[in-house]
Structure 1
Amino acid sequence: MQELQLIHATLDLLRNGAVKYEELHKHVAALEQLAGAMDAANNGLTKALSETRQQVQQWHNFFELSLDLLCIANLHGYFLDVNPAFLRLLGYAKEELLQQPFIYFVHPDDMHATLKELAKLAIGADCLNFENRYRCKDGSYVWLAWCVPTPPAESSLLYAIARDISERKRSDAEILHQAAHDSLTGLFNRAAVMPYLQHACACFRRDASQIFALLFLDLDHFKPINDNYGHHCGDELLRLVAARLRQCCRDSDIVARLGGDEFIILTIGQSASQAQELKLRLQAAMQAPFEIAEQRLHVGTSIGIAIPGTTEPEMAKLLEEADRQMYLDKLARHAS
């Protein structure tokens, strides 16, 4: 009897153990499945994290190593971050740029236009492209060309790219200067002075009180100097003559070389008597000898004056009259 009970007890243990084993086996299988899923998820998270870190590093490298000027600013007008290229060009420490509104660094003459451009962001402009001058730490200014895309609706940040265009601006200014000035004397050339004369004529036709005078100058005895001493000496003489002409005139007077040894002076707001005084002052200034290559050279100048009112206020007529008066003055000087 006891043996039978022992067998039944053993069978119960086996039965119960088998059930528990099956349950444990299923539980282990579930755990293994969950662990596999977690491993897969963990691998996915690890991969995603690695890719995100790589993207962050790439953006950091782009921001730090870019030769363009990159910056991030808030809508209150302050920089939040600027890249090393920005700091190198302007010469500031990063903290110095972040402590001041960015408009603080803009040239006073460019502030209004800059604020006007930035205001376009509020009315839905897709992207701003404009130029302005930024102050460097040493007090000088550089020209920057900006590209500022409109921030997304949910963003409160501005992202901008700028490039230094100072050299281009200098080159453009030099080209414009060369186009408007005589390369030998630095005076205005014929092409540059004619619009001023045309404008003076138009002003006089609208209002006869807008007086002006046109003086036409031709050097006396210039050709023999060129022939006897060479063109290099003649060129130096023309440069010295141009300097004396400027010294005799007001800053507002327009002095130009037409070519050869011919010059004109447009003096605004001067009456006929004042123009005559200027003529005498110019001729007196030419009486002093010019010191060139250890030579004392003498030239005079014949000057004709044209005044609107006595001559039709048309550019061609005034030039013709001033030229005619110059030749009359030359004849009179030679006769004396």
Structure 2
Amino acid sequence: MYSEGVFQFYFMNMPQPVILIQQEKHQLYYKECNKAAQQFFDKMEDKIIIKEENQLFYTLCEKAIATKEPIQYQYIQLFQPDRHAYEVTFTPLFNQATAPSHVLVMAQEIHYKKTQEESTRLLDAFLENTVDAILIADCDEKVLTVNGAFEKLFQWRKEEVIGKRRQEMNIVSKKEEQENLKLIEELKNGKTLSPYETVRYTKSGESVCVSVSCSPIYDYQNQLVAYSVIYRDITAIKKLELELIKSKQWYKSLFTNHHHAVCMLNLDGTILNINSAFLETLQLSASDVLHKNYRDIAKRLGACNYKRWNVYEEISYSTELTFRRSQHSIQHVYITTIPVKVNNQTVGAYAILHDITPQKEAEEQLAYTLKELENIKYALDESASVMIINASGTITYVNDMYVQYSGYEKEDLVGKYYRDAGLNHDHHELLETIKSGKVWRGQLEMGTKHHQSYWVSKTIVPLKDIDGNINHYVSIHNDITEQKALENKLHFEATHDSLTGLPNRAMLLKELNKVIEKGQQKSDEFFALLFLDCDNFKQINDEYGHHIGDEFLKAYTKRLKSCVRKGDRIYRLGGDEFIIILNVTNGREIEQIARRIHVSLQQSWNVRGYCLRTTTTIGVSIYPEDGESAASLLKNADDALYKGKREGKNNYILYQT
């Protein structure tokens, strides 16, 4: 049962932190704490414990109250030297009704357990992560544990060997067992054992070459309680040693059968031995070479830089020599000298000669080709804009002319994906052509950094690697903006009326044929062709002059445009004749538009201060009932027009057969 006096008497001066928790109306409060706990919990009397902020602490207090039993919990944060470890006991205190009303929380520092746990974790980590097989046995030869590397090397599972005597595993052969037991006894007696190499056996009886290290294990009282055996697999090393023995035998044949020229020299530079490739490479006989000094042979072969060939280097040494046998016979060789040492003393050298004449000639040809390419690149850079893009679409190069025309800086482009650098062309035919490895040529509209458009004549060339795979695309283009503008101007002038700006007869026939072609592909296509003629235009020209007549035609065109809808097209055939193609769906709609145009064109005109009055006669033909060709539609609309003229002008007439 809780009493404040009891708490002050028993717990206030204890070195361990002690806290008293009170439960009231299903809520926990900090009630009291001793001096040791105040360093962790300041001013907590009658303070409500927030469950969400102290989830674990709150839960343990509730559990102690619910079970009416003390609960222990260990706070251990491993491998954090600045954090203490505690074992905390939550003890419920009972009131007179035997129901817990308080919880006494007492913390006991357990640093030794933290140290012990850290040591155990480190040892476990070492055992399981080392590549060496480890066995630990007690002084009675019973296996305490083995690691994963042991299981893998010797094929014994841990559960099979723990508690088993080491000798029962037959890792050591019967022949060596006595000697092995003797070594173990020496180890138990405190003698230090040096690592040694031997053979051990797996569960299936296979032999393994290992390096063995044994170490004693002492308890806290320095008493021997166990020992460890570390087995390092050296099978690969042993195989390598055998291979080295073989290689010594093979080396004898290397000298003789090497495809490069090889000779052996003593410290005086005298050639002691040669292989057949040496004679073949230098085109000499054995008598020309054996027991001759290498300097004399170098002079005979016309070597101009043989002094760089030094056989007395302490380390391997390489250089190139050029033999000029005659004015037209040049041979390039690459020579490597390797010192021969006996008892760490240089006694001679091997010289290996490799004829690199073809390589040198190729290098000269490459240098010539690179110079040609450099000149071509210079000429290209001075005459065209060039961009190089890799196979993944990243820009790797732009020249100065490209920068000049595009307005971008090089850093804006190089390293960027081409679509992110303003080259957002969805040109299907272009992409398909270059991806197939073919060259594409054509004209494209480009955009500068400042969103100004310009036209270029572009050539894109795919570049392939030695395997035939495309790795880059070279884009070369020239600015044709002025040329394109001239072409557009000429095309406009060729297809449009210079006075009104309307499409002319040539454009009419081209576009009318397109509309008819579209109608032939769609069974429900329907449109009307209106043929307009200004009834008294000649009178305006005669009375007011051609300049007023021209201004009238401009105003006439403007009024026509105001009468038609978006999608309808107006054309001037010449003089006072106009054509309108109406996109309509029925005859009633045709009559409504024709009537609107007819009424609008009867209104007076104010041209340069003159009030002009004129009328218009309109002939109408309908596709497909009045014709399925441009010629028949125009003829029938013209016939309807002149029927309207004969009937008094200033009307609109639908063609009738």
TM-score under structure 2 normalisation? 0.40
1:136 to 421, 440, 448: 448
Counterparts of residues 126-275 of structure 1 (less than 5 Å) = 127-144=439-456, 145-153=458-466, 156-201=471-516, 209-275=524-590
AA aligned to 1:85 is M
Change (3 A) 1:107 1:299: farther
Residue in 1 that maps onto 2:633: 318
AA aligned to 1:128 is W
Deviation at 1:31, TM superposition (A): 11
Change (3 A) 1:27 1:260: closer
Residue in 2 that maps onto 1:96: 412
Change (3 A) 1:174 1:332: same
Give aligned-pair identity as a percent: 28
Is this contact kept in 2: 1:216–1:265, CA < 8 A? yes
Deviation at 1:96, TM superposition (A): 0.7
Residue in 1 that maps onto 2:423: 106
Deviation at 1:252, TM superposition (A): 1.4
1:301 to 612, 616, 622: 616
Residue in 1 that maps onto 2:142: none
Q: Distance in 2 between matches of 1:68 and 1:170?
A: 20
Q: Distance in 1 between matches of 2:585 and 2:404?
A: 52
2:305 to 38, 47, 65: 38
AA aligned to 1:315 is A
Deviation at 1:219, TM superposition (A): 0.5
Q: Distance in 2 between matches of 1:119 and 1:291?
A: 62
Q: Distance in 2 between matches of 1:132 and 1:309?
A: 38
AA aligned to 2:402 is F
Is this contact kept in 2: 1:63–1:70, CA < 8 A? no
Per-residue CA distance 1:246-283 (angstroms, 9 max, x = gap): 22112211211111101111112342221111112112
| Structure 1, unaligned runs of 5 or more | 1-25
State the secondary structure of the residue aligned to 2:305: helix
Residue in 2 that maps onto 1:282: 597
Residue in 1 that maps onto 2:388: 72
Residue in 2 that maps onto 1:15: none
Q: Distance in 2 between matches of 1:183 and 1:195?
A: 18
Moved more, 75-84 or 86-95: 75-84
Deviation at 1:299, TM superposition (A): 2.0
Deviation at 1:205, TM superposition (A): 6.3
Is this contact kept in 2: 1:193–1:254, CA < 8 A? no
Change (3 A) 1:175 1:152: farther
AA aligned to 1:98 is V
Larger % of strand: which? 2
Q: Distance in 2 between matches of 1:29 and 1:208?
A: 100
Q: Distance in 2 between matches of 1:60 and 1:141?
A: 29
Change (3 A) 1:273 1:159: closer
Change (3 A) 1:212 1:61: closer
Change (3 A) 1:317 1:86: closer
Give the CA RMSD over aligned residues. Answer: 3.9
Q: Distance in 2 between matches of 1:31 and 1:318?
A: 98
State the secondary structure of the residue aligned to 1:264: strand
Change (3 A) 1:307 1:291: same
State the secondary structure of the residue aligned to 1:291: strand
Change (3 A) 1:158 1:283: closer
**Is 1:119 paired with 2:386?**
no
Is this contact kept in 2: 1:133–1:141, CA < 8 A? yes
State the secondary structure of the residue aligned to 1:148: strand
Moved more, 99-108 or 81-90: 99-108
Q: Distance in 2 between matches of 1:294 and 1:33?
A: 111
Is this contact kept in 1: 2:602–2:613, CA < 8 A? yes
Change (3 A) 1:57 1:307: closer
Larger % of helix: which? 1
Is this contact kept in 2: 1:216–1:264, CA < 8 A? yes
AA aligned to 2:637 is A
Is this contact kept in 2: 1:64–1:83, CA < 8 A? no
Deviation at 1:107, TM superposition (A): 4.0
Is this contact kept in 2: 1:106–1:132, CA < 8 A? no
Is this contact kept in 1: 2:534–2:576, CA < 8 A? yes
Deviation at 1:196, TM superposition (A): 3.5
Change (3 A) 1:196 1:271: farther
Is this contact kept in 2: 1:107–1:135, CA < 8 A? no
Deviation at 1:310, TM superposition (A): 5.5
Change (3 A) 1:263 1:270: farther
Moved more, 165-174 or 86-95: 165-174
Is this contact kept in 2: 1:107–1:133, CA < 8 A? no
Is this contact kept in 1: 2:384–2:477, CA < 8 A? yes
State the secondary structure of the residue aligned to 2:648: helix
Q: Distance in 2 between matches of 1:33 and 1:219?
A: 107
**Is 1:81 paired with 2:397?**
yes
Is this contact kept in 1: 2:534–2:616, CA < 8 A? yes
Deviation at 1:291, TM superposition (A): 2.7
Deviation at 1:138, TM superposition (A): 0.9
State the secondary structure of the residue aligned to 1:256: strand
State the secondary structure of the residue aligned to 1:37: coil
Per-residue CA distance 1:187-224 (angstroms, 9 max, x = gap): 12112212443454566567663221111111022111
Counterparts of residues 7-26 of structure 1 (less than 5 Å) = none
Per-residue CA distance 1:114-138 (angstroms, 9 max, x = gap): 32233122xxx3x333443332101
Q: Distance in 1 between matches of 2:594 and 2:545?
A: 29
Which fold has the larger relative contact order, with Cα–Cα distance below 8 Å and residues 6 or more apart in sequence? 1
AA aligned to 2:446 is Y
Per-residue CA distance 1:148-199 (angstroms, 9 max, x = gap): 1533426944434222233333333333322222222111211221244345
